[in-house]
Amino acid sequence: MNASEPSKAELSVTAQSELFDRSLLMRHRQRALQAAKPGADFLLQSVAGDLEDRLRLVKRSFKAAVDLGGHTGHVSRAVLESGAAEHIVRADLFVADPNLPPPDLVCDDALLPFRDGSLDLVVSALSLQFVNDLPGSLIQIRRTLVPDGLFLATLPGAGTLTELRDSLTRAELEITGGAAARVLPFADTRDLGGLLQRAGFALPVTDLDTLTVRYDSMFALLADLKAMGATSVLKERAPTPLTRQILLRAAELYAENHSDPDGRIRATFAMVTLLGWSPDESQQKPLRPGSAKTRLADALGVAERKLDE
């Protein structure tokens, strides 16, 4: 077993059925990179800017940093411009971005090629939502970090593309009497925080930032998702694509139920940012019960009273 792979005990904890077709994801990613639609990376640009701001607040310098899944180069540039690292390894997911200089490596973020304790900083943007075993991937990331190393990532959470899910489901039910899953399931913010703790990260933090993007129609949204390489890769997907009739009806329902007064539709992206540290003795720890040296009443400047008073 390679040093960077989780142990059998850890794998048994995180084992689960596969939701996503990773080979299809690779084809979608490659197609999107080759097409390189101008402006299609707006979401990744926004997330990279937010990650840069967060790294500036950390006020730490990390020696060995990795941009995990780093196509477009936005995250790598954000890390360097934040001053958090002098050098960063750009690890493209599956295939190299043909529009950039060659990456340092191409790898699968579901199976990391790094040794235990070899990295000081791992940053990931809009990639880990496609991993089948997210708890296992987080365990691998935590193990690659040195003590007091930092993991920082953003991925879509629950609430993302709810309007699209609603419109497609209602249209398909109306026309065929049944509906298949067409939009990826996204994890809740609280659940993602629990996964950080489960993976062994210290001082875990999760927060949610909702971004609303407006389009002329549902078809413009679908075109952007295709250009991002973010169309559905569900393994248990319907064997046939949606018909023209269903898509046209879904677009009508989208415009009727999720549009602004000017007629443009809304698309919600709920961005969840995860932050966790590799455990280290130097980190702050909660005090042991009963170890306080000052009474709360004294700190508040009030008289202490018994419960029955």
Its domain, for residue 32, covers: 8-161+182-216+268-300
Three-class SS state of 274: strand
Residue 11 has pLDDT above 70, yes or no: no
pLDDT tens track for 101-110: 999 999 999 9
Number of domains in the chain: 1
70 located within any domain: yes
Q: Is the pLDDT of residue 9 over 70?
A: no
* Predicted TM-score (pTM) of this structure: 0.83
Residue 3: its pLDDT value, please?
38
| Inside any domain, residue 166 | no
Q: What is the CATH number of the domain that holds 64?
A: 3.40.50.150
pLDDT beyond 70 at 99: yes
211-227 pLDDT tens trace: 999 999 999 999 999 99
For 28, the token pair is 């979608």
Does residue 21 belong to any structural domain of this protein? yes
With respect to residue 153, please indicate whether it lies within any of the assigned structural domains.
yes
pLDDT digit string, tens, across residues 26-56: 999 899 988 888 888 899 999 999 999 999 9
Decide: residue 128, CB within 10 A, 0-12 exposed, 13-18 middle, 19+ buried.
buried
In a domain, 247, yes or no: no
User: Within 13 A of 265's CA, how many CA atoms are on the CB side?
Assistant: 24
What is the rounded CA–CA span in Å between residue 230 and residue 239? 19
Burial class (CB in 10 A: 0-12, 13-18, 19+), 188: middle
Tokens standing for residue 238: 């319907």
pLDDT in tens, 185-194: 899 999 999 9
Q: Is the pLDDT of residue 181 over 90?
A: no
Q: Of 185, 200, 47, 196, nearest to 124 (Cα)?
A: 47
**Per the domain annotation, does 131 fall within a domain?**
yes
Domain assignment present for residue 245? The answer is no
